Amino acid sequence: MDRRGFFTASGGISAAAFLAACGGSSKSSSSSAAAGGATSAAATSAAATTAAGVTPKKWDAASESGPISIFEWQGYEAKEMWAGYHAGPYDATSPLKFTFLQDDQQALAKVASGVQYDISHPCIAYWPDWQKAELIQPWDSSLLPDLHGIPDSILKNGQDAQGNQWHVPFDIGFSTLTYRTDKVQPKEISWNLLLDERYKGKISLYSDGVTIIKIGGLINGVKDPNAMTTDEIQAAKATMMKAAKNIRTFWTSETAAEKDFINENVWISYFWPDGYWKVKNDPKFKNIGVEYMWPKEGRLAWVCGFVLGSQTKVGGRAHAAVAAANAPKVAAWLTDAYQYGAAQQNGVQPLIKNQALIKAFSLDDPSAFAPPVSPGAHGAWFEKPLPNRAEYVKAAEEVKASVST
């Protein structure tokens, strides 16, 4: 089971709902009700300025004891990921205890409702919401010896203005369109393939609201899909309403999307790296080309990682666990096991067993991890915190609703 395949439409509240609870732009009373217990915790911190003047606590792992609770994506409880911790001095008295999250929205709401974890694994766009709700505290970077192996272009998006590290990036990956070369001949290598009526009913797209609107923005030529204005969001919505007429399904499970592609229900699908790799290597496509598009506007890309619970009593040992996961050997395992890239990049490539994955996903191309410098150049738009995320999500909901009207 792929670790990102657990996104479900009904598994958690909408981003707009939680932002309402956190004092965001949504004003829906039903959204606040959906957030349940999250509302009180978030409302208490609405005026908080947690970043200002905060310094990481000093931890003494040797004096701590008790299990470390980890709110994690299924698949990341694997012993390979935490091998360094298991081999260390704290494993016996502070075993790792895993609870699996479904998606970022569900995870945020659950913790805000009062359920405590020592370590959680949200994606980078969400950590400011955790911080504002006083659910997390900054890491002590001095206890994370391999932190320097994460490029600043990724690492700094988990920092506040004072340089405190609230989010430690771990897994990264590209997101783009995959298509059969025997059935699909794009007029140009672009996200605007979604608008091509030749492929009506043969396209599937990820259901995530932010993703939908970012794609529309890229088709429209926005300067930065992570910093879209209200007008740009509305224009992107209009573009994606046109695209929606060609889309067979907005998927919520990548595993189901892979089956749809393999069963020839669709010829074009939005995939993360593992989805592309699975369909490309399916026996049915042994003699059929499958392309992982590099759109002229740039791919989308995601970054997920670790945050430290604000109420943890085992913070030192939590640091030891994350330090073990942030090691080059684990980064190489991540690529071999899931075809994802790793935020940790120091000396990782020689350790990857399947060296074909390096070229397949441009892990040796630094330009692939920055926005494209010109149309058609390799580049990717890594996700960042979005202050107006609720606007993206609301617009995308209207796109999806338009399919049935």
Beta carbons of 216 and 237 less than 8 angstroms apart: yes
- The per-residue pLDDT for range 373-386, each reduced to its tens digit, is 888 888 999 998 89
pLDDT of residue 367: 85
pLDDT of residue 271: 96
Superfamily of domain 15-45+61-171+302-359: Periplasmic binding protein-like II (3.40.190.10)
Quick check: 42 pLDDT over 80?
Answer: no
pLDDT above 90 coverage of the chain, percent: 78
Quick check: 5 pLDDT over 90?
Answer: no
pLDDT of residue 405: 53
CA distance 197 to 183: 13
Least-confidence region, from 40-49, 142-151, 248-257, 326-335: 40-49
- Mean pLDDT along residues 261-289: 96
Quick check: 102 pLDDT over 90?
Answer: no
In this structure, what token pair is assigned to residue 154?
């990724």
- Mean pLDDT along residues 180-204: 97
- The per-residue pLDDT for range 43-60, each reduced to its tens digit, is 333 323 344 568 999 999
Quick check: 18 pLDDT over 60?
Answer: no
Dihedrals φ, ψ of 99, to 5°? -125, 135
pLDDT of residue 385: 87
Q: Per-domain residue ranges for the chain? A: 15-45+61-171+302-359, 173-300+363-402
Which of the 8 DSSP states describes residue 383? Answer: -
pLDDT of residue 22: 35
pLDDT of residue 30: 25
The SS3 assignment for 290 reads strand
Quick check: 265 pLDDT over 70?
Answer: yes
pLDDT of residue 7: 36
CB atoms within 10 A of CB 182: 12
pLDDT above 70 coverage of the chain, percent: 86
Q: Do 173-300+363-402 and 15-45+61-171+302-359 have the same topology in CATH?
A: yes
Class of domain 173-300+363-402 as given by CATH? alpha beta
- Amino acid identity, position 85: Y
CA distance 179 to 268: 4
- The per-residue pLDDT for range 337-355, each reduced to its tens digit, is 999 999 999 999 999 999 9
pLDDT, averaged across the chain: 87
- Mean pLDDT along residues 69-75: 95
Q: Please indicate, yes or no, whether the overall pTM of this predicted structure exceeds 0.75.
A: yes
CB atoms within 10 A of CB 357: 19
* Cα 336–Cα 342–Cα 347 angle in degrees, nearest 5: 85
Quick check: 23 pLDDT over 90?
Answer: no
User: In the chain, helix, strand, coil percent, each to 5?
Assistant: 40, 15, 45
Which of the 8 DSSP states describes residue 11? Answer: T
pLDDT of residue 168: 98
Reported as a pLDDT band with limits 50, 70 and 90, residue 104 is confident
